[in-house]
Structure 1
Amino acid sequence: MLKKYLIPLFSFFQTFLNKGHERSIKAKKNIITSIGLKGGSIAISLLLVPLTINYVNPERYGIWLTISSIVAWFSFFDIGLTQGLRNKFAIAIAEGDDESAQVYVSTTYAILGIIFTTIWLIFLLINPFLEWSDILNVSEEFSNEISILALIVFTYFCLQFVLRVLTTIITADQEPAKASLIDLIGQGVALLLIVGLVLTTQGSLIYLGLALCIAPILALAGANFFFFSGKYKAYKPSFKKVRFSHAKSLFNLGGIFFVIQVASLVQFESANIIISRNFGPVHVTDYNIVYRYFGILNMGFMIFISPFWSASTEAFLKGDIAWIRNSIKKYNMLNILFIIAGLIMLLFSETIYTLWLGKETVNISFVLSLWGFFYFCSLMFESKYVNFLNGISALRLQFWSSLISPFLFIALVFLFIKHYQMGVYSLFLASIIANFNGLILAPLQYYMIVVKNKRGIWIR
């Protein structure tokens, strides 16, 4: 049986992995590895939700999610630098220019270190004066606890934005599986810490915040030491290699990414705040359960799409348009499979919520699940086109649409909630409509560049 079935199967699998362009081979190997790693991440993420809800109760869990969303707004101080680095680093290593690659890495670390140290010190000064109970529309008994939690979460965000430069480098090197491994290790440590808290302590937002924030920081710090002592030693950040004069080219590209990131933050991170103030923290939990559940689809699709950004940079630089077109065709076919999987998830969502979280924990409507499904289908559809355009730095149309989309999103949300009295699901609907760039402009731009070979406004 071993000779008849397993050996031929292994040979077929080995041939499949090593067949095709070197760029495709590298992508396939990373995708296969990422499937296992992301599968572990999804499993841990799903385990963490009921553990944390039961540890602190649904209302406190909603507070934790809302605080995380508020603090995430400060990520715009990244000013798009890491995205700019991703393209600049990919171009440098494609051209064999290790010197420029190290300069870009060192300069990015230096700038982000200065920025996030400054804003952390400012937050340290103003946090005691913030009325968190009023901001989140919760009882005053939570004020002191939330204030400490906010400081913990803010410190975590500042540290991780600097340390995550490494994952940008790894992804730019077309090896996103290694970045996924770092995240998996952090999640694993967090799970162990939460289990320890459940067994030894009473529900505490502060303990929860410490566990969920310390774990990923330890993983990122260890990974920085490991990679810059090994494979990426040639690009190890150094004070001697910091060139603030090079920051201009990072800022020119990063500035556009910055505007795009802010638009994304408005849509993705303001949702919890809007829900908390209009419906209460418990509904934040409902929304995020649906978000996590159908987010599995997007996480799975991103395993396949992650190598495409930096691979597109290299392919377009070398004029390999045929490879790009073939890749998009395969991603479209994969898209259909994920939509079918999403429909199955939708049909059995109520049963899965009950098995996952327990019948008494939450009561999620089918309408909320339906719009969550539609939302993530739209994200998967757009991602292949947006990743390609990001990889070749064709950002002008995305930039201008990003100036409009956050205002459109906010306007639609308040129209749906205040005028039409729609429920929490209206945030998913508003996000889909506001994301007209990904659904309409990005596919059109890809078509004009790759199929019609047009330049001008399409390539800028």
Structure 2
Amino acid sequence: MVESSSQKVGIKIFRGAAATVLSLVATTIIGLVIMPIVVNQLGDRLYGVWVLIGTITGYFGFLDLGLSKAVMRFVSQSLGKGDKVAADDWISIALASFAILAIVSLFLSIGVWLLVPCFLSGAEDAKVISLALLIALLAFSAALPARCFLGILEAHVRKDIVSLIHVLTNIFRAGTMFVVISYKGSLIGLAMVAAIYTVFDGFLIICFARRVHGPFRLNKAALNIENLKVFFGYASSSFVTQITDIIRYKSYPMIITPFLGLAALTPFAIAERLTQMLISLCNGILLNLSPVFSQLEGAGGVEGNEKLKRYYFFSYKFSCYLGVFAVGMTMMLASPFIERWMGAKYLNAVPILHVLLIGIFFSLIQIPTLCFLFAVSRQKFYAITNTIHSVASIILCAILVIPFELLGLAFGISVVTFFVKFFLQPIGVLGLIDMKLINYHIKKSLPNIIIPSIFIILYYFFTKKYIQPNYSIIFLIGLFGSLFFTLYICVCGFNKCERSMLLRAIKPALFFLK
């Protein structure tokens, strides 16, 4: 029997979700294995340099300008219309744009390389640090055009290919780094390994994108003012959110280094690595809500759409349950895990992690809110609140890091996150569904937080005497906690209608697993 187009798309979506989870698990395991090895080889100071290099390279992500998302948007739209010529025109615009940006990135890389020694004039290894940074930035510049092809793969709903490429390169990168470290490799050696695999990752994406899309025709005529205006107009809205995210997530090492030194980056990096893993996991589960909200909005608009409203509140309940469980279990197991993973001397990262997790919790429960805003074309509201979030975080952290050091920094991050996520961002949705903020938190937030919190508290008291710095014990406590929590929340958290909704949601996955 011939599959319908909707079935084919469903298979692609499921493959993409499965591959994304695989990529996340593989990346997490690789990161957990390789990080203590790199820290032990480089030492706290040079590992701080390594983190700083990654931070500066991350800032170069500004140069994407939101164009990769625009490629996905317009190429997928053209493919949906069956107009491959139009798709090739948008690819022509994107390739020309990324080629120019790659050249700009190249010159900026050289400029940063020349300027860095001025800020490290007193350091003995200033030349080594600046050279390692140059290698990383040149690799980024070389791989920048691959972002166009990344957008092409996503337009064809082939997220599975992207995820598997990342898994492949991460495995080989980690293996090569291990070999280099085994032979007492230096910072330059590690930078070279990372650079080679950055370019290799981009090369694979280009190859597979050309295979999936087929031959494409570059059209100079497509580079006209009208097309450029449409293309960059769409890219600009996503660029604002991208730039504020980069500022917010990549600025903290720049605050820590001048006040506390490079060595202080290591405990903060340990705590931040674990929080980012948690965010990635929850994003992977919840970010697929956007197309569901978009379909509901298309069927009945936003205002007065009771079905859209009901789905939003259900997904918010689900995110609260997931957020309480994920953060609660991480708090329970953080100390023994870090002791076993990095060693007892890095237990100073535990209190930092605990404070960060408070803010992370409020970010996790509001993932459906962000999906809703993007799904109904209210992303400008998110851009505004995200800008407030970024600026306020940097200012408060800069104030608190001097008297309270890393704990002050973590506290500043969490306080601003709580204020923005709990009070500001929900307003963007509540104004559309005609509900007051106070009623939202009393009727929706508090019950959905209290119910799973009861389980976490009871589970902690039952298991605390068994918790030890042992991977097997940590895994078993996490596994049994997940199973018992699922049973508890199905009985005590979801009603009959919601359980039915969940069952309908997982049926397609069960079908494709047959």
Query: TM-score range, shorter-chain basis?
Result: 0.7 to 0.9
Distance 1:251 1:367 in 2: 44
**Secondary structure, in 3 states, of the residue corresponding to 1:164?**
helix
What is the Cα deviation at residue 240 of structure 1?
Answer: 4.5
For residue 305 of structure 1, what is the amino acid of its counterpart? L
**Counterparts in 2 of 1:179 and 1:317: CA distance versus 1, 3 Å:** farther
Task: Give the corresponding residue for 2:332.
Answer: 347
Distance 1:241 1:290 in 2: 51
For residue 64 of structure 1, what is the amino acid of its counterpart? W
**Counterparts in 2 of 1:70 and 1:318: CA distance versus 1, 3 Å:** same
Listed as ranges, the gaps of 5+ residues in structure 2 are 436-514
The answer on whether the counterparts of 1:40 and 1:184 sit within 8 Å (CA) in structure 2 is yes
What is the Cα deviation at residue 282 of structure 1?
Answer: 1.7
Distance 2:140 2:58 in 1: 7
Which of 48, 58, 77 lines up with 2:34 in the alignment?
Answer: 48
Q: Does 1:212 align with 2:198?
A: no
Task: Give the corresponding residue for 1:389.
Answer: 373
Which of 93, 108, 116 lines up with 1:107 in the alignment?
Answer: 93
Map 1:17-416 → 2, pairs under 5 A = 27-125=13-111, 127-131=113-117, 133-134=119-120, 140-200=123-183, 202-229=184-211, 231-233=212-214, 236=216, 238-240=218-220, 242-245=222-225, 246-309=227-290, 316-317=297-298, 322=307, 326=311, 329-330=314-315, 332-360=317-345, 362-416=346-400
Which of the two has higher C-alpha Rg?
2
Distance 2:155 2:409 in 1: 33
What is the Cα deviation at residue 271 of structure 1?
Answer: 0.5
Aligned length: 425
The answer on whether the counterparts of 1:176 and 1:307 sit within 8 Å (CA) in structure 2 is no
Greater CA drift, 82-91 or 293-302 = 82-91
**Counterparts in 2 of 1:125 and 1:91: CA distance versus 1, 3 Å:** same
The answer on whether the counterparts of 2:146 and 2:206 sit within 8 Å (CA) in structure 1 is yes
Greater CA drift, 142-151 or 384-393 = 384-393
The answer on whether the counterparts of 1:124 and 1:151 sit within 8 Å (CA) in structure 2 is yes
For residue 107 of structure 1, what is the amino acid of its counterpart? I
Q: Give CA-to-partner distance per residue, 1:381-408, whole Å, 9 cap, x none.
A: 2333223423443222223334433332
Listed as ranges, the gaps of 5+ residues in structure 1 are 1-17, 454-460
Distance 1:174 1:323 in 2: 25
**Secondary structure, in 3 states, of the residue corresponding to 1:157?**
helix
Greater CA drift, 247-256 or 122-131 = 122-131
What is the Cα deviation at residue 185 of structure 1?
Answer: 1.4
Give the 4+ runs in structure 1 shifted more than 6 A. Answer: 20-25
Q: Give CA-to-partner distance per residue, 1:149-196, whole Å, 9 cap, x none.
A: 111111122233321233334345444333222221121111111111
Distance 2:163 2:118 in 1: 34
Distance 1:209 1:330 in 2: 42
Q: Give CA-to-partner distance per residue, 1:295-332, whole Å, 9 cap, x none.
A: 22112112223444456556645658747953762464
**Counterparts in 2 of 1:298 and 1:122: CA distance versus 1, 3 Å:** closer
Distance 1:327 1:169 in 2: 30
The answer on whether the counterparts of 2:287 and 2:368 sit within 8 Å (CA) in structure 1 is no
What is the Cα deviation at residue 126 of structure 1?
Answer: 5.6
**Counterparts in 2 of 1:32 and 1:399: CA distance versus 1, 3 Å:** closer
What is the Cα deviation at residue 46 of structure 1?
Answer: 1.1
Distance 2:58 2:75 in 1: 25
Task: Give the corresponding residue for 1:427.
Answer: 409
Greater CA drift, 277-286 or 85-94 = 85-94
For residue 220 of structure 1, what is the amino acid of its counterpart? G
Distance 2:92 2:294 in 1: 22
Q: Give CA-to-partner distance per residue, 1:7-34, whole Å, 9 cap, x none.
A: xxxxxxxxxxx9x998777544433343
Work out the percentage of aligned pairs sharing the same amino acid. Answer: 17
The answer on whether the counterparts of 2:180 and 2:189 sit within 8 Å (CA) in structure 1 is yes
For residue 238 of structure 1, what is the amino acid of its counterpart? L
What is the Cα deviation at residue 129 of structure 1?
Answer: 4.2
**Counterparts in 2 of 1:93 and 1:319: CA distance versus 1, 3 Å:** farther
TM-score, structure 2 length as denominator? 0.74
